[in-house]
Chain A
Amino acid sequence: MNPGVLSVYRWELRKLRFQKRTYLGLGAAAIVPIIFCVAVATQGGQPNDVAFGRYIHETGLAIPLVLLLFGSVWMFPLITALVAGDIVAAEDHNGTLKTILTRSVERHQVFAGKALATMTYALAAIALSGAVAVVAGSIVSGLNPLTTLSGTRISAGRGLTLVGGSLLVYLMPILAIAAIGLLFSTVFRNSAAAVVGTLMASLLLQLIGILPGLGFLQPYLLSTQFNSWQGLLREPIDWAPIVRAAWVCSLYAVPALVAAFLVFLRRDVAGG
């Protein structure tokens, strides 16, 4: 059988399994919710100024939602950048890119496999963080009904479904960041520069969002889309921010991916 994208993808996942940075990222995604839950259990206060903050002692389902808000500043962008910024640059730096590009897979297949592995890792990080937060939150505060942003109470089962949906919606800006990370990884050929660059790009977009006089840009910033999941937690569900997040994130992700793809396709592999 001829090898293809699937062969590359499987091996990219295997390589990720053997790399410390994978466990650093996934470890952070798991440990932060636990630390947060320990703090919730041992401290009496609550973050009243953020959505669902006031409910963290009532139901464990509020905890993953609060973490989504906190995590959007740097945690999830950093976790994503750790792998996205590294996945091409590290191969370039270590000289292994020439090893795989002289086998029987085309460059576009290698790129597609790497992009898919990056997206899979981002999905795994978000899912792991959400799962740990739900489990740890339920232990601390119980798996109880959740109060939506509209003030209605929904059952724990429906709340759990909506938390899952929120994680998926949250994945959209994360994937856009992953695409930017891939671009930097391909262009910079330096893992550290690509990881830091990706994080800086994410923080820059957040900074633009709080600068006075630039409010008109707010709906089109990637950072704003990190809050679009909140539309799911309204009764009835408000799809408008979710739909906007889908196309705004695409505006960031697609050009970055296309640029990374073209650079990867045409580049000279002269290192290593």
Chain B
Amino acid sequence: MSAETPIEARGLTKRYGELVAVDAVDLTVEPGDVFGYLGPNGAGKTTSLRMMLGLIRPSAGSVRLFGRDPQAGVAALDGVAGFVEEPRFYPYLTGRRNLELCASLDGHGAAGRIDEVLDVVELSDRARDRVGGYSHGMRQRLGIAAALLRRPRLLLVDEPATGLDPAGMRDMRLLIRRLADDGMTVLLSSHLLAEVEELCNRVAIVRKGSVAYEGALSDLRRAAGSSYRLRTTDDALAARVAAAQPGIEEVDQSVEGGLGLRAASDDALGELSRALVESGALILELAPRHATLEELFFALTESSEDGGGGGDRVAVAATSVAANDGSGS
């Protein structure tokens, strides 16, 4: 495992008795990534993050942060910061006091950065108020401030925008974007698809504790983009022609007002066009179907199929997207 790779998880598993909370997760977060760790509530995202931060022990497998094992001690967290679930502080202490506590437990001159990080999260004017009186959004920002005290190269944040009002969500996204633009690698656990779509370049989609897809967001979209919607002068004939055409798969006649299909390549699509014209089914519409992350997410996380790797599941997603398109959703 590379010392330059911010996060490498291999076969990471956590069991609580019979319950498998995290199931053999393989994950690689590269330097500079804003990595979305996406999944429905209860998918095992927070448990994974807790293992990454050394708060809980894996039942099997391993995770390395810059090549170091967080179970071996806090030295593995050098250059790493973050929080799981909502950041928690001492309500009877002021925001500044809480940061002083964190800084004193960090050392390395962290105390000298308190004013700076308070400015970054725009909490300087409330720093002398007790945290017990802070809003949820202010506590989230204080959590980011506490993380920044460590000057992290890797920031792990768990649902940072959950519970925030729209303005708070926007501010949180802007803050994370700014940190990422400064070169920080970010792992962002979320179930908010818009947040991930806006911020992340790579994603892992988890479902029932295991990773259903890991890769670039653009690849995921591209994979789903190989599905098409076809409308011709004779859809029944077109369906027969398409089904017989090499490289054309999953022809779906249930699509309202046309057909759904997948093309293995652009060449296969070109050949289909030629065959359709030759058969007399004139093309009225042949449009790629760009799935939204939300559609892909639901297709991946709600699929009843358990087998297959990421690629297979993206195919499942793409088919589901075409079907959804046909049903007018």
Structural contact, A104 and B105, CB atoms closer than 8 A: yes
Interface size class of A (residues with CB under 8 A): 20 to 34
Contacts of B30 in A (CB 8 A): none
Known: A95-B88, A96-B90, A272-B88. A101 touches B54 (CB 8 A): yes
- Closest residue to A8 on the B side, CB-wise? B105
Interface string of A123-161 (1 = CB under 8 A from B): 000000000000000000000000000000000000000
A42: interface (CB < 8 Å) = no
Bound CA–CA A98/B77 (angstroms): 13
Bound CA–CA A227/B108 (angstroms): 48
- Closest residue to A2 on the B side, CB-wise? B107
Interface string of A250-272 (1 = CB under 8 A from B): 00000000000000001011101
Structural contact, B55 and A106, CB atoms closer than 8 A: no
Structural contact, B77 and A102, CB atoms closer than 8 A: yes
Structural contact, A270 and B50, CB atoms closer than 8 A: yes
B85: interface (CB < 8 Å) = yes
The CB with the most chain A CB atoms within 10 A, among B74, B86, B93, is that of B74
Interface string of A94-115 (1 = CB under 8 A from B): 1110111111111000000000
Among B50, B86, B107, point to the contact of A269 (Cβ < 8 A): B50
Among A14, A18, A19, A100, point to the contact of B105 (Cβ < 8 A): A100
B164: interface (CB < 8 Å) = no
Structural contact, A268 and B105, CB atoms closer than 8 A: no
Among B56, B57, B88, B146, point to the contact of A94 (Cβ < 8 A): B88
Structural contact, B93 and A104, CB atoms closer than 8 A: no
Structural contact, A3 and B107, CB atoms closer than 8 A: yes
Contacts of B85 in A (CB 8 A): 95, 272
Structural contact, B57 and A3, CB atoms closer than 8 A: no
Bound CA–CA A101/B74 (angstroms): 8
Among B104, B146, B150, point to the contact of A99 (Cβ < 8 A): B146
Structural contact, B104 and A269, CB atoms closer than 8 A: no
Within 66-109 of A, Cβ neighbours of B (below 8 Å) are at 94-96, 98-106
Contacts of A270 in B (CB 8 A): 47, 50, 55-56
Bound CA–CA A1/B111 (angstroms): 11
Among B84, B102, B150, point to the contact of A98 (Cβ < 8 A): B84
Interface string of A8-30 (1 = CB under 8 A from B): 10110011001100000000000
Structural contact, B107 and A18, CB atoms closer than 8 A: no
Bound CA–CA A105/B103 (angstroms): 11
Structural contact, A11 and B104, CB atoms closer than 8 A: yes
A7: interface (CB < 8 Å) = yes
- Closest residue to A113 on the B side, CB-wise? B105
Contacts of B53 in A (CB 8 A): 98, 102
Among B74, B81, B88, B150, point to the contact of A96 (Cβ < 8 A): B88
Contacts of A96 in B (CB 8 A): 88-90
Bound CA–CA A15/B131 (angstroms): 14
Contacts of A269 in B (CB 8 A): 50, 55-56
Structural contact, A18 and B89, CB atoms closer than 8 A: no
Bound CA–CA A19/B86 (angstroms): 23
Contacts of A8 in B (CB 8 A): 105
Closest 3 CB pairs of A and B: A95-B88, A103-B105, A268-B56
Chain A residues near B (Cβ < 8 Å):
1-3, 7-8, 10-11, 14-15, 18-19, 94-96, 98-106, 266, 268-270, 272
Chain B residues near A (Cβ < 8 Å):
47, 50, 53-57, 73-74, 77-78, 81-93, 97, 101-102, 104-108, 146, 150
* 20 interchain pairs, CB-CB under 8 A: A1-B107, A2-B108, A3-B105, A7-B105, A10-B104, A11-B104, A11-B105, A14-B97, A15-B93, A18-B93, A19-B92, A96-B88, A99-B146, A100-B101, A102-B83, A103-B74, A104-B77, A268-B56, A270-B50, A270-B56
**Extra A-B contacts (9), CB below 8 Å, given A102-B81, A103-B105, A105-B105:** A2-B108, A3-B104, A14-B97, A100-B101, A101-B54, A102-B83, A103-B74, A269-B56, A272-B85
